[in-house]
Amino acid sequence: MQIFEAAPDAGPSLALHGGAGGRVEELTLEGRAPYDEGLRAAFSAGWQVLAAGGSALDAVCASVEVLEDNPLFNAGRGAALTATGHAELDASVMTGAGRAGAVAASKHARNPVLLARAVMEHTEHALIVDPDVAFLECHGFQPVERGYFITESRRQQLERVLGGRAAAARHGTVGAVARDVNGRVAAATSTGGMVGQADGRVGDSPIVGAGVYARDNIVAISSTGHGEAFICGVVAYDIAARIRYANAGLAAAVRETIETELAQRGSTGGIIAVGGDGRIVVAHNSPAMFSARGTGPEPTITT
């Protein structure tokens, strides 16, 4: 297991991830530079919000939106494809005040994270499954054709998986967590799921307490990994509960949850967290993880 920790800071804090997994195609040494650039662009988008005094929620949405638009990452355009060759997208947002919104099996929203935010802010619901075109238009979103999300590299990846020439990737997800100048925290997560997954399969990313969780003065968390294990272990909430009720430190809470809820299930993944004091923790028990973290405009990048 690898854990990176940054000390608390009086100002804003921001961390984001672009997925965790093995040293496969997307993580080869030759291919790192474009991913680094994508992470920096996403961090910059979120940091500009925080530096201007904006909210943690605005910051995490800005960062995740950039990652969704980048076809290198498994969210939005360039998402992993289901067994039938389609993209079904999941996303969620949560504020430190305890409000949350999510979408699952989204097929027409260019930026699922923004639709998840709309669910939180403009409906009485917390989770919408398979939001249709009418739902998007009702909330001011211009739908896109399903083909928008599909890239040639993802088509080829699906062919290799279905042909037995490659293992299904389980760790492609993006997310961000932030603490703003007012001490509020927020988290957002977005994904295309697993390569070759069954149509209708939903992982942890849109599930509050599994792939996302936030509570002011405690922590904001976004997860990436084997979604079923994160759901069964209620991983994001388990970390928050260790901090809230057992007075565990942020790094210790993350480490203990990974050991008890992931490792003991034979599963891997990664977690980014920002504490109520601005402390940042990035951790994973997978061979690699894309991440960017910092308390200033120049992030620390890990791939």
Domain ranges of the chain: 2-295
Q: Of the residues 28, 82, 95, 173, which is catalytic?
A: 173
Residue 266: DSSP 8-state: T
For residue 23, name the pLDDT band (cuts at 50, 70, 90): very low
Residues 6+ apart with CB under 8 A from 69: 76, 77, 110, 111
302 an active-site residue? no
- 255-291 pLDDT, tens digit per residue, is 999 999 999 999 989 999 999 999 999 999 988 899 9
Q: 61-65, 76-80, 247-251, 263-267: lowest mean pLDDT where?
A: 263-267
CB 26 within 8 A of CB 34: no
Average pLDDT over every residue of 123-144:
98
The torsion of the CA quartet 118, 121, 126, 127, rounded to 10 degrees, works out to: -10
Q: Which CATH number fits domain 2-295: 3.20.20.70, 3.40.50.1220, 1.20.58.1910, 3.60.20.30?
A: 3.60.20.30
Residues 6+ apart with CB under 8 A from 135: 128
Question: pTM higher than 0.85 for the full model?
Answer: yes
